[in-house]
Structure 1
Amino acid sequence: MDTLTHEPLTSSPIEVFRRRGRFDPIDDRRVRAAVAAGAWVRIIPGVYARAEAWRALRPHEQHRVRVLEVTHRLETPALVSHHAAAAAWGIDTLGRWPERVDVRVPRASGGRSTGRIRRYPLGVDDVATAPFGRHRVTTPAQTALDLARALPFVRGVAALDQAIWTERPGGALTDLAEIEHLRAAQPSPRGDARASRVLAFASTGAANVRESQMRVLVVELGFGLPTVQERRVLRSGRVAFGDLYFPDADHWVEIDGRGKYLSPEYTGGRDAAQIVLDEKARENEIRRIVRGFSRLDALDAEHPRRVYDILTGDGLRSILPRP
C-alpha cells in the first residue's frame, strides 16, 4: 500500500440540494421550474446544484460531486475505483467523464452496470486502498495503474502523468516506482502490456492532460521524444520553462491554453493587452537562445495535420510524412 501523503477529497466543492434530505426540503414544482429556467442543474436524480456554481467546476470536480452523491446513497460499503477514484484524488483525465461511478467488485460477481454504478470485476483482495468516508477508494498508484490498463494509450499517459506530477500543490500523489511495484504484484493479462508502455512513456513534468496528449502526438507524428518543462535562464534573468523541447534540434515548443490569458492564477491582475505584451517579450528572449521556436494551442492536439504543419513550418523535421 502507498505511503500516502495526501487524502482523498471527501467534501463537495459546491453546495448541493437533496430533494429527500431532512435539512434541505425542496418543493418539486420549484425544482422543476428552476431546472427548466437553467438556474439549477440535476446532478443525479434528487440532487441539484446552482447552475452557475456547477459550470464553474472543472469536469473532474463535477464528477467528484457525482461520486460523493452516489456513494452517499449506497447501502453497503464499496471500493471506489478508476475514474471515480481519479476524481476523488484530483487526477484529471482526457475525454468525457463517465455518467456512472466506477467501483471494483469481486471477480465472481460479474461486471454488470446498473443505475449510477459501473462495476469492474477485477477483484478487491490485495488492492491498495485508502479510507473514503464509510467506503474505500483505490490509492493514487492503484488508480493510475487501473486507468493505464483500461484506457487507450494516450488517455492512460495523461492520467498517469497527473498522478506523478511533481509540481502539484502538496507534491506528487505517487511515483513510478510505486505504480510499477503494484503492476508487478498484481499481474494481469488484460491491459498489462499497455500499462507497461504507459509507464515507460510517463513524465513527472506534464502540468495538464493537454500537454501529455501533445507529447504523445508529436512522437506519433515522427518528431522524436521531447523533454518536458525545459528550464532556461533568460538574458533578463528570469527563468522560463518550455512545455516541450527537442534537444537534438534545439527546438522549443509552447502550448497555450485559455488559462494563460484568463485564469487569475496566471494573469496576476494584468489586463489582456499587458499579458500579450509580456508573453511576446518572453518569446523574443527565448528565440534568442534556441534554434527553433513553435507555439501551439492546447486544442491543436485534436488536429494532427495542423500540429505537423506548424512544427515543420517552424523548421522542426519529422521522419514521417504528413498524416
Structure 2
Amino acid sequence: MTWRDAPPLTGLRRRRDEPFDRPDERRLRREIEAGTVVRAAPGVFVDGAHWRRLPPMARHAQRVWEASLRVTPGTVFSHHAAAALHGIDTLGDWPARLDVSVEAGAGGRSTGLMRRHTRAMAEAELLPWGDCFVTSPAQTAVDLAASLPFVEGVAAVDQAIWGGRPGGALATVPQLRERAAARRRRGLARIHRALAFARVGAANVRESQSRVLIVELGFPEPEIQHRIRLADGALYVADFFWPRHDHIGEFDGLGKYFAFARETGLTPVQALAAEKDREDALRRLVGGFSRWRTGDLDDPRRLYDILRGAGLPTSRPRPLG
C-alpha cells in the first residue's frame, strides 16, 4: 500500500465541488489566517490540525493527488512527486513545486506549480496512474540519484531498496542498474556512485545520512541493523555496528520513541526509560557505544567528536567549521 493507491487525506473542501459564496469566502479567509484551515493545494482546503499531523512526504503526496485531478491526461509525475506517491522518503525539504517529466524538445516551461524535467521518455519506466503516469520506484530512485547531491541520492536509493519496508522493497539493485543502463550519459556517474554505496538495510533517511557522513569523516563503514542478543535473551537491533572495534552506534531520532510507544502501548516517557535500560544492557556487552541526534548530522564536526571521543579510529582530521 502506497500513496499512489490512495491519498493521505480524504474529506477535503474543494472549490470545484462546492462553490463558496461571499460569506463563505470571508469565513475561510479568517480560518486560514488563524491556522485552523490550511490551503493544501490551489482551491483545496483541509483542517489545519490534520494537515500538520501529516509527515512532509504525505503532504507532498496529497498535493500530487490534487494536481492529478487538474492536469492534462497523460502527464508524467516523476522525481520528488513520484517519490512521495511511492513512499520513498528524501532528505531535506520537499520542493514547493511538483515534478513532471516531458519529452525532450516538447517545449513549454516550468510554472509556479510544476517543475518540468525534459528527457527521452522512451528511456523512462512508467506506471499508469488514473489518467496520468508515474515513474516506477526504480526509475524514481535513479532520477533522484542523478539530480541530487550524493548523500540525498544515497538516501533515496536506500529507501527504494529497503528490505524492511512493509510489503517488501519497492525495487531491487538489479532493477536500478537496469534503469541506469537505459539512461543517457547525464547523471550516470552520480547514479553509479550512489548505487555502490546503497544498502538494503537502511531503515530511514537519517541512517543513510549517518552512514555517508561516517565514511566521509574517515571512520570505517559500519554494519547496519546488526542483531545482538542481550543477557536476558531479548534481541536488539543496533543501527550501526563496527565488529572490529566492538562498537555500537545509534541514531537517536525522537520519532523512534513515539513509534516504540505506539507499538508497545507505553507512554513516550516509559519508552524513553526502556530505551535507556537497553542501552545500559548493551554497554555491558560491547566495548564502545555512541549515540547521536539530527543536529549532530547537520554539523559533521559534532558527529566527528562523538565517534572520535568514543574511541573509533579515523583517517582524517576534524573538519573545519
Q: Residues 112-168 of structure 1, C-alpha deviation per residue, up to 9 Å, x if partnerless?
A: 211311110012113211121110100000000100101110000111111111111
Q: 1:21 aligns with which of 4, 12, 17?
A: 17
Measure the CA separation in 2 of the matches of 1:258 and 1:169. 21
Contact 1:18–1:25 (8 Å) recurs in 2? no
Q: CA deviation at 1:267?
A: 5.8
Q: Name the count of aligned residue pairs.
A: 317
Q: 1:300 aligns with which of 270, 285, 296?
A: 296
Q: 2:140 aligns with which of 133, 143, 147?
A: 143
Alignment-derived partner of residue 214 in structure 1: 210
Q: State the 4+ residue runs in structure 1 displaced beyond 3 angstroms.
A: 263-267
Q: What secondary structure does 1:249 align onto?
A: coil
Q: What secondary structure does 1:105 align onto?
A: strand
Measure the CA separation in 2 of the matches of 1:189 and 1:272. 49
CA 1:167–1:265: 2 relative to 1, 3 Å: farther
CA 1:111–1:87: 2 relative to 1, 3 Å: farther
Q: 1:86 aligns with which of 76, 83, 93?
A: 83
Q: Match of 1:64, as an amino acid?
A: A
Alignment-derived partner of residue 263 in structure 1: 259
Q: CA deviation at 1:246?
A: 1.7
Measure the CA separation in 1 of the matches of 2:306 and 2:2. 40
Q: 1:236 aligns with which of 205, 209, 232?
A: 232
Measure the CA separation in 2 of the matches of 1:316 and 1:49. 49
Q: What secondary structure does 1:212 align onto?
A: helix
Contact 1:252–1:290 (8 Å) recurs in 2? yes
Contact 1:127–1:142 (8 Å) recurs in 2? yes
Q: CA deviation at 1:76?
A: 3.1
Measure the CA separation in 2 of the matches of 1:217 and 1:248. 19
Q: Residues 64-101 of structure 1, C-alpha deviation per residue, up to 9 Å, x if partnerless?
A: 01111112111332011000000110111001111111
Unpaired runs of 5+ residues, structure 1, are none
Q: What secondary structure does 1:15 align onto?
A: coil
Measure the CA separation in 2 of the matches of 1:12 and 1:25. 24
Q: Match of 1:54, as an amino acid?
A: W
Alignment-derived partner of residue 205 in structure 1: 201
Q: What secondary structure does 2:248 align onto?
A: strand
1:1-323 to 2 correspondences below 5 Å:
8-22=4-18, 25=20, 27-110=24-107, 112-186=109-183, 188-263=184-259, 266=262, 268-323=264-319
Contact 1:161–1:206 (8 Å) recurs in 2? yes
In the superposition, the TM-score normalised over structure 2's length comes to 0.93
Measure the CA separation in 1 of the matches of 2:270 and 2:312. 30
Q: Match of 1:299, as an amino acid?
A: G
Measure the CA separation in 1 of the matches of 2:67 and 2:113. 7
Measure the CA separation in 2 of the matches of 1:316 and 1:136. 48
Q: Residues 250-279 of structure 1, C-alpha deviation per residue, up to 9 Å, x if partnerless?
A: 211011111122336656222344323322
In the superposition, the TM-score normalised over structure 1's length comes to 0.93
Contact 1:226–1:244 (8 Å) recurs in 2? yes
Contact 2:261–2:268 (8 Å) recurs in 1? no
Q: Match of 1:32, as an amino acid?
A: R
Unpaired runs of 5+ residues, structure 2, are none
Percent identical pairs in the alignment equals 48
Measure the CA separation in 2 of the matches of 1:110 and 1:202. 35
Q: Match of 2:236, as an amino acid?
A: A
Q: CA deviation at 1:15?
A: 3.0
Q: What secondary structure does 1:263 align onto?
A: helix
Q: CA deviation at 1:34?
A: 1.0
Q: Match of 1:218, as an amino acid?
A: I
Measure the CA separation in 1 of the matches of 2:123 and 2:3. 20
Q: What secondary structure does 1:158 align onto?
A: helix
Measure the CA separation in 2 of the matches of 1:49 and 1:65. 11
The two structures, once aligned, show a CA RMSD in angstroms of 1.8
Question: Please, which moves more after superposition, 157-166 or 244-253?
Answer: 244-253
Measure the CA separation in 1 of the matches of 2:75 and 2:152. 25
